[in-house]
Amino acid sequence: SAVISQKPSRDICQRGTSLTIQCQVDSQVTMMFWYRQQPGQSLTLIATANQGSEATYESGFVIDKFPISRPNLTFSTLTVSNMSPEDSSIYLCSVAPLSGAEAFFGQGTRLTVV
Amino acid sequence: SQKIEQNSEALNIQEGKTATLTCNYTNYSPAYLQWYRQDPGRGPVFLLLIRENEKEKRKERLKVTFDTTLKQSLFHITASQPADSATYLCALARMNRDDKIIFGKGTRLHILP
């Protein structure tokens, strides 16, 4: 299993600013995943963060808007840049220590952009 | 494109009855199908995983079936309790290099006392 600590748990931000979300795992994992969950919607994968290489972004998400860092095997950050109200959502980090097996999630960051 | 559909946005079930949730998928060949529970303000929590070569999996009051011909999974909670009220997410995964997990929108289950 894996325990994930994600912070902040919530924030209210001004339009045009940036927010960095941190994710700390209690064990070393190869890949960490960042999701967005808008109200009433499914979890949408933003990107996969690999240690030692550039993150892999899904269609519709770009590095300039969602830069990701992965400095070691237990930590990652996601930045939401130049925010607009459309970025208001819950952001979740996740790991799946074993290929194809269960995923573990942080408690999420509820972001509101005003 | 890949699509996962869960049968309804919300489901009301009387306490003590069996709740059955449905997950259908298209344009996908998963190696694994998973079910998660999500409570308000929390991240999803893993419940059960079933492999493509398995028909049924049980865990306490939970039962999952997986029909790769119909491209459907059924998730059952027997002897349901108000504490079972939550959103339940279906998820698919393959044994690929990218190991991505794709989630459905979820079904909000309300167990009525």
pLDDT digits (tens, 9 = 90+) for A26-77: 999 888 999 999 987 889 999 999 888 889 999 999 999 999 999 999 999 9
Interchain proximity A101–B32, CB inside 8 Å: yes
Q: How distant is the Cα of A102 from the closest Cα of chain B, in angstroms?
A: 6
Q: How far is CA A83 from the centre of its chain?
A: 15
Q: How distant is the Cα of B90 from the closest Cα of chain A, in angstroms?
A: 10
Which of B99, B102, B107 to mutate to test binding with chain A, by most A CBs within 10 Å of its CB? B99
pLDDT band at B52 (very low <50, low <70, confident <90, very high): confident
Least confident of A61-65, A84-88, B42-46, B100-104: B100-104
Q: How distant is the Cα of A113 from the closest Cα of chain B, in angstroms?
A: 18
Interchain proximity B49–A102, CB inside 8 Å: yes
pLDDT of amino acid A74: 94
3-state secondary structure of A72: strand
Nearest CB among A31, A43, A96 relative to B103 is that of A43
Phi/psi of residue B89, nearest 5 degrees: -110, 135
Q: What is the pLDDT of residues B9-43, one digit of tens each?
A: 899 999 999 999 999 998 877 878 999 999 988 89
Phi/psi of residue B107, nearest 5 degrees: -120, 125
Residues from chain A that touch B34, judged by Cβ atoms under 8 A, are: 102-103
A27: its two tokens: 């064990």
Interchain proximity B41–A107, CB inside 8 Å: yes
Q: How distant is the Cα of B17 from the closest Cα of chain A, in angstroms?
A: 26
| Cα pseudo-dihedral A66, B88, B5, B7, rounded to 10 | -150
B72: its two tokens: 């459907």
Residues from chain A that touch B102, judged by Cβ atoms under 8 A, are: 45
* Rounded Cα gap, residues A102 and B35, in angstroms: 9
Nearest CB among A35, A94, A100 relative to B95 is that of A100
Q: How distant is the Cα of A40 from the closest Cα of chain B, in angstroms?
A: 7
A105: its two tokens: 């999630």
Share of residues in chain A with pLDDT > 90 (%): 80
pLDDT of B94 strictly over 80: no
Share of residues in chain B with pLDDT > 90 (%): 67
Selected residues 54-83 of chain B with any CB under 8 Å from a CB in chain A = none
What is the enclosing helix (H) or strand (E) of B22?
strand B19-26
pLDDT of A100 strictly over 80: no
Closest chain A residue to the Cα of B97, Cα to Cα: A99
Average pLDDT, chain A: 92
Q: How many CB atoms lie within 10 A of CB A12?
A: 11
pLDDT of amino acid B15: 97
